[in-house]
Amino acid sequence: MLQIPHLPETRKLKALAVLTSGGDAPGMNAAIRAVVRYAIAKDCAVYGVTKGYSGLLEGQIQPMEASSVANIIQRGGTILKTDRCEAFFRKAVRREAAHILQRKGIEGLVVIGGDGSFTGAHLMENETGFPTIGIPGTIDNDIAGTEDTIGFDTAVNTAVDAIDRIRDTASSHDRIFVVEVMGRSSGYIALQTGIGGGAETVLVPERKIPVSKICDTIERGIRRGKTSSIIVLAEGRTPGNAQVLAQKLEDRGYATKVCILGHTQRGGTPTAHDRMLASAMGASAVAHLMAGHSNSMIGCRDNRIQLVPFKDVIGGKKTLSTALLDLGAVLAT
């Protein structure tokens, strides 16, 4: 059960802004809703920035009311839209962004996104003093300083549901399926999906397994009477690897099908877990800005919502639990 510490509150903030940045993730809307409603409850005006940092630079900044976020907690995607903004890598551009916010009387910015989005916020605050707070929103769960990110649970549930369906057809046709899931260079989605979906093999960037070993696992299964197999493969840096692996298995005489789940994992109704996490993190972000805390991310460690300085987050490596990797391997045999 998520532990929410008593939220700090020591000063009045006239107005803050919220934006979503990077890849969308289910639950971002629940986070926007929490930011808007918590701020309004504390007499702080809220502005919504459309299309991430790009929209901010274009001045796409609109006041939001409690009613602006009605009926969105259950919706995937982000009502504020999102973007990956290359221009924000430039110092002059970040300085201009801070000026745009200040000219509107905005005193703090909540950024819902991933590591790249936090880097932009962190640099902008260091260079201009403009207060920023990050909320981790990405299906990849690859952000240091937090055990959980908004959208991860939903993406895993979507992928497990897909595997259940694929298993029906795999066992009807006695086939091997390679199912490719997202996650970029992180294997979190693959590992949890593999364990939750009962995959025969899970392949993640953090632990390489040679094709010969995958074939050994298939053969062991066949000897025990298994007629079908599911191999869950993390996309890694170059999506489409499932095709490469399937070809290698075909070359060794195994008829193999490929299913790349792709962006289906990014959409859909957020799970109750993601809605809860997003609600708690959204409120906490506002409370910390009001308490004068910034240049930090709202993280979740040992199931507790807490503030983690950006400097301990950005570029940090989050390692996949070897115990979980071992468990996945044992249960798959």
Provide the CB-side half-sphere exposure for 137 (13 A, CA). 36
User: Cα separation of 237 and 182, whole Å?
Assistant: 10
**What is the dihedral angle through the alpha carbons of 110, 78, 49, 71, rounded to the nearest 10 degrees?**
-90
- Catalytic site residue from 83, 140, 153, 274: 140
Binding residue count for ligand F6P, defined by CB under 6 A: 9
Catalytic: 140?
A: yes
User: Cα separation of 71 and 75, whole Å?
Assistant: 8
Q: Which is nearer to ligand F6P, 36 or 261 (CB)?
A: 261
**Which residues 174-233 are close enough to bind ligand F6P by CB under 6 A?**
182-184
Q: Which is nearer to ligand F6P, 99 or 263 (CB)?
A: 263
In angstroms, give the least distance from the CB of 99 to ligand F6P. Answer: 29
Closest by CA to 165, choosing from 227, 230, 225, 217, is: 230
Identify the DSSP state of 137.
Answer: B
- Tell me: does residue 234 bind ligand F6P (CB under 6 A): no
> Tokens 């008829």 sit at which residue?
255
Tokens of 86: 């290359």
Q: Which is nearer to ligand F6P, 188 or 310 (CB)?
A: 188
**Which residues 251-270 are close enough to bind ligand F6P by CB under 6 A?**
266
**Which residues 119-148 are close enough to bind ligand F6P by CB under 6 A?**
138-140
Closest by CA to 38, choosing from 280, 271, 274, is: 280
Q: Indicate the pairing of strand 61-64 with strand 45-49.
A: antiparallel
Q: Residue of minimal CB distance from ligand F6P?
A: 182
In angstroms, give the least distance from the CB of 236 to ligand F6P. Answer: 9
In angstroms, give the least distance from the CB of 184 to ligand F6P. Answer: 4
In angstroms, give the least distance from the CB of 320 to ligand F6P. Answer: 15
Sites of contact with ligand F6P (CB under 6 A): 23, 138-140, 182-184, 235, 266
User: Which residues does the annotation mark as catalytic?
Assistant: 140
